[in-house]
Amino acid sequence: MSTPLPATAAAPRRHGAFEGAGMLFRKEVLRFWKVSFQTVAAPVLTALLYLLIFGHVLEDHVQVFDGVGYTSFLVPGLVMMSVLQNAFANSSSSLIQSKITGNLVFLLVTPLAPRSWFVAYVGASVVRGLVVGSGVLFVTVWFVPLQMAHPLWVLAFAALGAALMGALGLIAGLWADKFDQIAAFQNFVIMPMTFLSGVFYSVHSLPGFWQTASHLNPFFYVIDGFRHGFFGVSDTTPWLSLGITAGAVLLVFTLALQLLRSGYKIRP
């Protein structure tokens, strides 16, 4: 006679894994929130300074889209730049800090599955990215008129961009052995790709070679699709941007999960 014991026993394990992922997620959120003056307020201030300086200097000299002032054009780019950079910084800094201080061993002895690690680290990165981006948007709208033509596009690209960078930060944190390597990855990969993605300009204003190079940069499509949500116009169609962004997210997610499953640089 069969017994329901296996099914009953399996349920607590699934529930426990879910609880473990939730606790790790909460720990990661609290980690950045307890130093929010540094992790949230400082990036918001930096973006505001960009807006005031570039907007003041170029407002009367640059026209990107018809009926859209340069300062208004600049705001979505600064918001998304803040989302991307802070989502990456959250997962990468947390993981490398745990590796260097040695407290990563306390996670390794838990029964958490790799997907639980992934959900917690990337989820907390998305939260930080969206919190900082919301702060930038809230502060900058006091200085410039801004509309939101398609809110769903705004939400979709904000979430996808933060998730993409959270997973990329997880990969960087797994790869790096010291803070210098994380800093190098951020300064020589993330920062150039972010600044050369149309944050401060339309790629149509660039020479042919640099236009082509920009269209090979996945960050360009994240920012361009996000900007379309505000103005209803963009350098490319939002559906193309969504497809390329979703493809990049899928690729990075797959790589991050595979590295976690293999124990890359976190298990002897």
**What pLDDT digit, counting tens, does each position of 126-154 carry?**
999 999 999 999 998 888 878 889 999 99
Domain count, the chain: 1
1 lies in some domain: no
Q: Is 226:80 a contact under the CB 8 Å cutoff? A: yes
Residue 243 has pLDDT above 60, yes or no: yes
Residue 9 has pLDDT above 50, yes or no: no
Residue 239 phi, psi dihedral angles, 5° rounding:
-70, -40
Classify the phi-psi angles of 265: left when phi > 0, otherwise alpha if psi is within -120 to 50, otherwise beta. Answer: left
Cβ contacts of 264 within 8 Å, gap of 6 or more: 174, 175
230 lies in some domain: yes
Mean pLDDT for all residues in the chain: 88
pTM for the structure as a whole? 0.89
188 lies in some domain: yes
33 lies in some domain: yes
Higher pLDDT, 175 or 200: 175
How buried is 236 (Cβ within 10 angstroms: 0-12 exposed, 13-18 middle, 19+ buried)? Answer: middle
Cβ contacts of 184 within 8 Å, gap of 6 or more: none
What pLDDT score was predicted for residue 85?
Answer: 95
10 lies in some domain: no
- DSSP characters for 72-89? HHHHHHHHHHHHHHHHHH
Whole-angstrom distance, CA of residue 62 vs CA of residue 76 = 16
Give me the domain span that covers residue 180: 17-262
9 lies in some domain: no
What is the chain's Cα-based Rg? 20
Whole-angstrom distance, CA of residue 162 vs CA of residue 123 = 9
Query: What percent of the chain clears pLDDT 70, i.e. is strictly above it?
Result: 91
Q: Which pLDDT band, with edges at 50, 70 and 90, does 213 fall under?
A: confident
4 lies in some domain: no
pLDDT digits (tens, 9 = 90+) for 34-77: 999 999 999 999 999 999 888 777 776 666 777 778 888 899 99
Whole-angstrom distance, CA of residue 39 vs CA of residue 90 = 9
237 lies in some domain: yes
